[in-house]
Chains A and B, each alone.
Chain A
Amino acid sequence: EDKVVQSPLSLVVHEGDTVTLNCSYEVTNFRSLLWYKQEKKAPTFLFMLTSSGIEKKSGRLSSILDKKELFSILNITATQTGDSAIYLCVPNDMRFGAGTRLTVKP
Protein backbone atom coordinates (compact mmCIF):
# COMPACT_ATOMS: atom_id res chain seq x y z
CA GLU A 1 0.00 0.00 0.00
CA ASP A 2 1.31 3.43 -0.89
CA LYS A 3 2.25 5.57 2.06
CA VAL A 4 3.98 8.76 3.09
CA VAL A 5 5.64 9.27 6.45
CA GLN A 6 6.77 12.67 7.58
CA SER A 7 8.90 13.42 10.60
CA PRO A 8 8.89 14.98 12.99
CA LEU A 9 5.15 15.43 13.35
CA SER A 10 5.70 18.63 15.25
CA LEU A 11 8.67 20.94 15.72
CA VAL A 12 9.15 24.12 17.74
CA VAL A 13 12.18 26.32 17.05
CA HIS A 14 13.26 29.92 17.54
CA GLU A 15 13.77 32.52 14.88
CA GLY A 16 17.09 32.12 13.17
CA ASP A 17 17.27 28.36 13.66
CA THR A 18 17.69 25.98 10.75
CA VAL A 19 15.24 23.10 10.42
CA THR A 20 15.17 19.91 8.39
CA LEU A 21 11.89 18.20 7.68
CA ASN A 22 11.86 14.60 6.56
CA CYS A 23 9.64 12.69 4.18
CA SER A 24 9.80 9.02 3.31
CA TYR A 25 7.48 7.46 0.79
CA GLU A 26 6.46 4.23 -0.79
CA VAL A 27 4.64 4.80 -4.04
CA THR A 28 4.14 2.61 -7.05
CA ASN A 29 4.98 4.25 -10.36
CA PHE A 30 6.75 7.13 -8.67
CA ARG A 31 7.16 10.19 -10.85
CA SER A 32 7.53 13.16 -8.55
CA LEU A 33 7.34 14.44 -5.01
CA LEU A 34 5.86 17.79 -4.12
CA TRP A 35 6.24 19.91 -1.04
CA TYR A 36 3.46 22.21 0.13
CA LYS A 37 3.16 24.78 2.89
CA GLN A 38 -0.16 25.11 4.60
CA GLU A 39 -1.03 27.91 6.94
CA LYS A 40 -4.61 28.70 7.82
CA LYS A 41 -5.84 28.34 4.30
CA ALA A 42 -5.26 26.05 1.35
CA PRO A 43 -1.81 24.55 0.76
CA THR A 44 0.59 26.52 -1.40
CA PHE A 45 3.07 24.84 -3.68
CA LEU A 46 6.77 24.95 -2.75
CA PHE A 47 8.75 22.46 -4.83
CA MET A 48 8.36 19.62 -7.27
CA LEU A 49 11.18 17.06 -7.21
CA THR A 50 11.62 14.49 -9.92
CA SER A 51 15.34 13.69 -10.01
CA SER A 52 17.60 12.39 -7.30
CA GLY A 53 20.37 14.57 -5.96
CA ILE A 54 19.29 17.83 -7.55
CA GLU A 55 18.61 20.46 -4.96
CA LYS A 56 15.78 22.89 -5.53
CA LYS A 57 16.09 26.26 -3.82
CA SER A 58 13.76 29.13 -3.20
CA GLY A 59 15.14 31.77 -0.89
CA ARG A 60 15.72 30.23 2.51
CA LEU A 61 14.00 27.00 1.54
CA SER A 62 15.62 24.10 -0.25
CA SER A 63 14.70 20.51 -0.91
CA ILE A 64 16.32 17.40 -2.28
CA LEU A 65 15.14 13.95 -3.29
CA ASP A 66 16.77 10.55 -2.92
CA LYS A 67 14.90 8.15 -5.17
CA LYS A 68 17.05 5.22 -4.16
CA GLU A 69 16.28 5.62 -0.47
CA LEU A 70 12.72 6.87 -1.16
CA PHE A 71 13.37 9.96 0.89
CA SER A 72 13.18 13.73 0.65
CA ILE A 73 14.11 16.57 2.97
CA LEU A 74 13.03 20.17 3.17
CA ASN A 75 15.46 22.61 4.73
CA ILE A 76 14.60 26.03 6.03
CA THR A 77 17.45 28.27 7.10
CA ALA A 78 17.24 31.39 9.26
CA THR A 79 13.65 30.58 10.16
CA GLN A 80 11.15 33.37 10.69
CA THR A 81 7.82 33.41 12.49
CA GLY A 82 6.13 33.50 9.10
CA ASP A 83 7.51 30.05 8.40
CA SER A 84 5.15 28.64 11.01
CA ALA A 85 2.90 26.27 9.10
CA ILE A 86 2.23 22.64 8.31
CA TYR A 87 4.60 21.33 5.67
CA LEU A 88 3.26 18.54 3.51
CA CYS A 89 5.14 16.23 1.21
CA VAL A 90 3.03 14.61 -1.47
CA PRO A 91 4.01 11.95 -3.98
CA ASN A 92 2.53 12.05 -7.44
CA ASP A 93 -0.53 10.08 -6.41
CA MET A 94 -1.51 13.14 -4.39
CA ARG A 95 -2.27 11.37 -1.14
CA PHE A 96 -1.38 13.78 1.63
CA GLY A 97 0.27 12.69 4.85
CA ALA A 98 -0.19 14.31 8.21
CA GLY A 99 2.60 16.76 7.55
CA THR A 100 5.05 18.38 9.93
CA ARG A 101 3.72 21.23 12.03
CA LEU A 102 6.49 23.80 12.38
CA THR A 103 6.22 26.55 14.97
CA VAL A 104 8.81 29.31 14.91
CA LYS A 105 8.91 31.41 18.07
CA PRO A 106 10.24 34.98 18.15
Chain B
Amino acid sequence: KAGVTQTPRYLIKTRGQQVTLSCSPISGHRSVSWYQQTPGQGLQFLFEYFSETQRNKGNFPGRFSGRQFSNSRSEMNVSTLELGDSALYLCASSPGPQETQYFGPGTRLLVL
Protein backbone atom coordinates (compact mmCIF):
# COMPACT_ATOMS: atom_id res chain seq x y z
CA LYS B 1 0.00 0.00 0.00
CA ALA B 2 1.26 3.46 -0.76
CA GLY B 3 1.77 5.67 2.25
CA VAL B 4 0.38 9.08 2.98
CA THR B 5 1.43 11.57 0.35
CA GLN B 6 1.60 15.30 0.72
CA THR B 7 2.09 17.94 -1.91
CA PRO B 8 3.96 20.10 -2.36
CA ARG B 9 6.94 19.00 -0.30
CA TYR B 10 8.41 22.49 -0.10
CA LEU B 11 6.86 25.88 -0.51
CA ILE B 12 8.06 29.45 -0.20
CA LYS B 13 5.52 32.24 0.17
CA THR B 14 5.53 35.86 1.25
CA ARG B 15 3.58 37.49 4.03
CA GLY B 16 -0.04 38.15 3.18
CA GLN B 17 -0.29 35.41 0.60
CA GLN B 18 -2.40 32.32 1.00
CA VAL B 19 -1.42 28.69 0.57
CA THR B 20 -3.17 25.37 0.01
CA LEU B 21 -1.57 22.10 1.02
CA SER B 22 -2.80 18.71 -0.10
CA CYS B 23 -2.83 15.31 1.56
CA SER B 24 -3.76 11.92 0.12
CA PRO B 25 -4.35 9.31 2.82
CA ILE B 26 -3.46 5.65 2.70
CA SER B 27 -5.97 3.80 0.56
CA GLY B 28 -8.96 2.83 2.69
CA HIS B 29 -8.23 5.36 5.40
CA ARG B 30 -11.08 7.78 5.96
CA SER B 31 -9.72 9.95 8.71
CA VAL B 32 -7.18 12.71 8.08
CA SER B 33 -5.56 14.96 10.64
CA TRP B 34 -3.30 17.95 10.17
CA TYR B 35 -0.47 19.09 12.44
CA GLN B 36 1.92 22.00 12.52
CA GLN B 37 5.43 21.42 13.71
CA THR B 38 7.80 24.22 14.65
CA PRO B 39 11.04 24.05 16.62
CA GLY B 40 9.63 26.23 19.35
CA GLN B 41 6.15 24.77 19.73
CA GLY B 42 6.67 21.16 18.80
CA LEU B 43 3.87 19.21 17.18
CA GLN B 44 0.51 20.91 17.40
CA PHE B 45 -2.86 19.59 16.29
CA LEU B 46 -4.72 21.63 13.69
CA PHE B 47 -7.82 19.66 12.76
CA GLU B 48 -9.22 16.23 12.07
CA TYR B 49 -11.58 15.22 9.28
CA PHE B 50 -13.65 12.10 8.87
CA SER B 51 -16.18 11.49 6.13
CA GLU B 52 -15.83 15.05 4.88
CA THR B 53 -16.69 16.47 8.31
CA GLN B 54 -14.39 18.28 10.69
CA ARG B 55 -14.48 16.32 13.94
CA ASN B 56 -11.92 18.20 16.00
CA LYS B 57 -10.13 21.49 15.80
CA GLY B 58 -7.03 22.67 17.56
CA ASN B 59 -6.32 26.11 18.92
CA PHE B 60 -5.41 27.93 15.72
CA PRO B 61 -6.82 31.17 14.28
CA GLY B 62 -9.47 31.18 11.61
CA ARG B 63 -6.82 31.81 8.96
CA PHE B 64 -6.24 28.06 9.12
CA SER B 65 -8.95 26.03 7.46
CA GLY B 66 -9.34 22.67 5.86
CA ARG B 67 -11.66 20.35 4.07
CA GLN B 68 -11.97 16.74 3.08
CA PHE B 69 -13.28 15.37 -0.17
CA SER B 70 -15.40 12.32 -0.82
CA ASN B 71 -12.31 10.30 -1.74
CA SER B 72 -10.86 11.16 1.70
CA ARG B 73 -8.20 13.44 0.25
CA SER B 74 -7.81 16.56 2.32
CA GLU B 75 -6.58 20.08 1.83
CA MET B 76 -5.65 22.72 4.33
CA ASN B 77 -5.54 26.40 3.58
CA VAL B 78 -3.74 29.21 5.35
CA SER B 79 -4.74 32.73 4.40
CA THR B 80 -2.92 35.98 5.07
CA LEU B 81 0.32 34.21 5.82
CA GLU B 82 2.49 35.42 8.68
CA LEU B 83 6.19 34.80 9.29
CA GLY B 84 5.26 32.60 12.22
CA ASP B 85 3.39 30.24 9.92
CA SER B 86 6.72 28.92 8.67
CA ALA B 87 6.68 25.31 9.75
CA LEU B 88 6.47 21.70 8.73
CA TYR B 89 2.84 20.78 8.11
CA LEU B 90 2.16 17.12 8.65
CA CYS B 91 -0.84 15.14 7.55
CA ALA B 92 -1.72 11.82 9.14
CA SER B 93 -4.30 9.29 8.08
CA SER B 94 -6.04 6.51 9.94
CA PRO B 95 -8.79 4.04 9.09
CA GLY B 96 -11.16 5.92 11.35
CA PRO B 97 -11.18 8.45 14.17
CA GLN B 98 -9.01 7.73 17.19
CA GLU B 99 -7.17 4.90 15.46
CA THR B 100 -3.44 4.66 14.83
CA GLN B 101 -2.27 7.45 12.61
CA TYR B 102 0.35 7.19 9.92
CA PHE B 103 2.14 10.33 8.95
CA GLY B 104 3.06 11.71 5.57
CA PRO B 105 6.43 13.29 4.85
CA GLY B 106 5.11 16.78 5.45
CA THR B 107 5.11 20.04 3.56
CA ARG B 108 7.75 22.49 4.64
CA LEU B 109 6.42 26.03 4.33
CA LEU B 110 8.67 29.04 4.50
CA VAL B 111 7.07 32.46 4.76
CA LEU B 112 9.32 35.38 3.88
Q: Using C-beta atoms within 8 Å of the partner chain, give the interface range for chain A.
A: 10 to 19
Q: Is the CB of B48 within 8 A of A99?
A: no
Which of B11-19, B67-75, B99-107 lies on the face that meets chain A? Answer: B99-107
Question: Smallest Cβ distance from A105 to chain B, in angstroms?
Answer: 22
Residues in B with CB closer than 8 Å to A38 are 43
- How distant is the Cα of A44 from the Cα of B100 in the complex, in angstroms? 10
Number of residues from B at the complex interface, CB < 8 A: 19
- How distant is the Cα of A34 from the Cα of B48 in the complex, in angstroms? 17
Residues in A with CB closer than 8 Å to B104 are 42
Interface of B is mostly: strand
Select from chain B the residue with minimum beta-carbon distance to A48.
B100
Question: Smallest Cβ distance from B65 to chain A, in angstroms?
Answer: 19
- How distant is the Cα of A99 from the Cα of B101 in the complex, in angstroms? 17
Q: Is the CB of A42 within 8 A of B48?
A: no
Q: Is the CB of A31 within 8 A of B45?
A: no
Residues in B with CB closer than 8 Å to A93 are 56, 98
With A96-B43, A96-B44, A98-B42 given, is the CB distance from A44 to B98 under 8 Å?
no
Residues in B with CB closer than 8 Å to A94 are 33, 45, 48, 56, 92, 98, 101
- How distant is the Cα of A88 from the Cα of B33 in the complex, in angstroms? 16
Known: A41-B105, A92-B98, A96-B45. 6 other contacts (CB 8 A): A31-B98, A32-B98, A38-B43, A42-B106, A95-B58, A96-B35
